[in-house]
Chain A
Amino acid sequence: MRQAFIGAMAALTAALVVSSLAVAQTAQSQNKQARSPWVYYPLDTIVGDGGPAPKRDLSGTWAGPGSTDAIPRGAPAEKPSFTSLGQQTMSQRKPIGRFGPAGTNDPTARYCDPLGFPLNFIYQNRAMSVATMPNRIVFLLQFGGFWREVWTDGRALPTKVGGEDRDSLDPTYMGYSVGHWEDDYNFVVDTTGLDERTWVLRDGTPHSVMAHVQERFTRVDHNTMKVSMTLDDPKMFTKSFSLGTYYYRWIPNQKINEWLCVPSETLKYLQEQGDPAGSYPDAQPQRLGGGGRGR
């Protein structure tokens, strides 16, 4: 009798665990409209932790900062300490937050140039997919439709990028990245060889081609991923500093929508709206619109 009772309790416990896991991975929908498998619904956010994190696996499709308020708060980038070259370069930058679309020299805002890494993991990375291949992990970004390869085959980072030597590699918008699993849940990525035309932060913070970015991806649980980033670039900064910490959450239907910066649309926007409105860099900053959440 006692054994039967224990067996029944074990079965009940197992059933409760299974059902709670099912609930934990259920999407929280904020309206009752019919759903298409071809559409990403950012307001359909995942509930709970979804159970333990899988080992050595970041694969899946993730909602990032700014997509909805369901994304946990991270930490912003630290204020860097510039070298004289860094300060001089910074003084030439006209960020859009102060100068507006008409007065900025932000290459993405004016020309639709790629944000490049690491800015594309700091700004507007509202959704991305992560795919694991035998010798690399590939990040597929929603904004701009860019991809980024992180090699896991044990190769070393290049030491000559952007120089005059014939064997010097070309700088790239995504840089050159290698990664390794520090343990079952922490994936560490090192990147260098970044194109100097890109800005590190939206305020115009510069970097040199041999800047070194280190990322730590932590698979917190099945439904949560955390990314902490640091930047080391002695040419521009007197010491390394944090680029911030960012959280990602599992997207219930694993679908993200296309979101591109289209040059002809940017040109239309600037010609018909942004430029006629003018630039007032010394005016008090204000926010009048731009939507909700990530804007």
Chain B
Amino acid sequence: MKTRVRAFVPLIGGLLALGAPASAHHGDAAYSAKAMEMKSCVVTEFSWMNPHSLIKFDYKTQAGEVQHWTMEIGSPPSMALLGWSRTTLRAGDVITAFVYQAKSGVLVGRTNKVILADGTVLADRDDSTPSRYGTETPQK
């Protein structure tokens, strides 16, 4: 599975670079539009839940301060379509997190993507399917 996902890394990366259209399910106006990269984050909790799953992790700044972050991804049915599962992350896992931080300045954010220790990239979004619906319309 991870091998298959890895094969889509360039595609996902390219798609993420395309930017965000002006539509939102939960309204992402609370978050910065520019993702920040945080390396060597240590996962402390992964809650696979509704309405949105949460990833908690510790991040050590260059000044040596350990920050406790929470970032959300989509609902389990949505994220399962992108390769996520209940067992994707465990406490102690080391990841690189790309996060849109809340404008309020608190340490919460919307996930852009995470890179697991083995290089697997998991995105929070699939821009290859911009519509809720497909394009086929059967005739009757």
| Residues of chain A at the chain B interface (Cβ within 8 Å) | 31, 33, 42-43, 49, 65-74, 96-102, 104, 109, 126, 218, 220-221, 224, 226, 247, 257, 259-262, 265-266, 268-269, 272-274, 276-281, 283-295
Contact B131 A285 (CB under 8 A): no
Contacting residue for A42 out of B4, B80, B103, CB 8 A = B80
If A101-B27, A265-B50, A287-B22 touch, does A273 touch B70 (CB 8 Å cutoff)?
yes
Counting from the closest, the 10 A-B pairs by CB-CB distance are: A291-B78, A292-B126, A291-B74, A289-B124, A283-B29, A100-B27, A73-B133, A277-B30, A277-B102, A265-B49
Chain A residues positioned under 8 Å from B25 (CB to CB): 96-97, 287, 290, 295
Rounded to whole Å, the gap between the CB of A147 and the closest CB of chain B is: 19
Rounded to whole Å, the gap between the CB of B115 and the closest CB of chain A is: 15
Can you name 19 A-B pairs with beta carbons within 8 Å?
A: A68-B81, A69-B134, A71-B134, A73-B133, A97-B27, A100-B28, A101-B51, A220-B140, A224-B138, A259-B76, A261-B51, A277-B30, A280-B103, A285-B27, A286-B22, A286-B29, A287-B125, A289-B72, A293-B126
Contact B135 A288 (CB under 8 A): no
Contact A101 B26 (CB under 8 A): yes
Rounded to whole Å, the gap between the CB of A41 and the closest CB of chain B is: 9
Interface of B is mostly: loop
Q: Chain B interface residue count: which class? A: 35 or more
A257 to B76, CA, bound (A): 11
Nearest to A292 among chain B residues (CB) is B126
Rounded to whole Å, the gap between the CB of A170 and the closest CB of chain B is: 28
Rounded to whole Å, the gap between the CB of A189 and the closest CB of chain B is: 18
Nearest to B101 among chain A residues (CB) is A277
Residue of B23, B27, B140 ringed by the most chain A CB atoms within 10 A: B27
Rounded to whole Å, the gap between the CB of A246 and the closest CB of chain B is: 9
Residue of A259, A262, A276, A279 ringed by the most chain B CB atoms within 10 A: A276
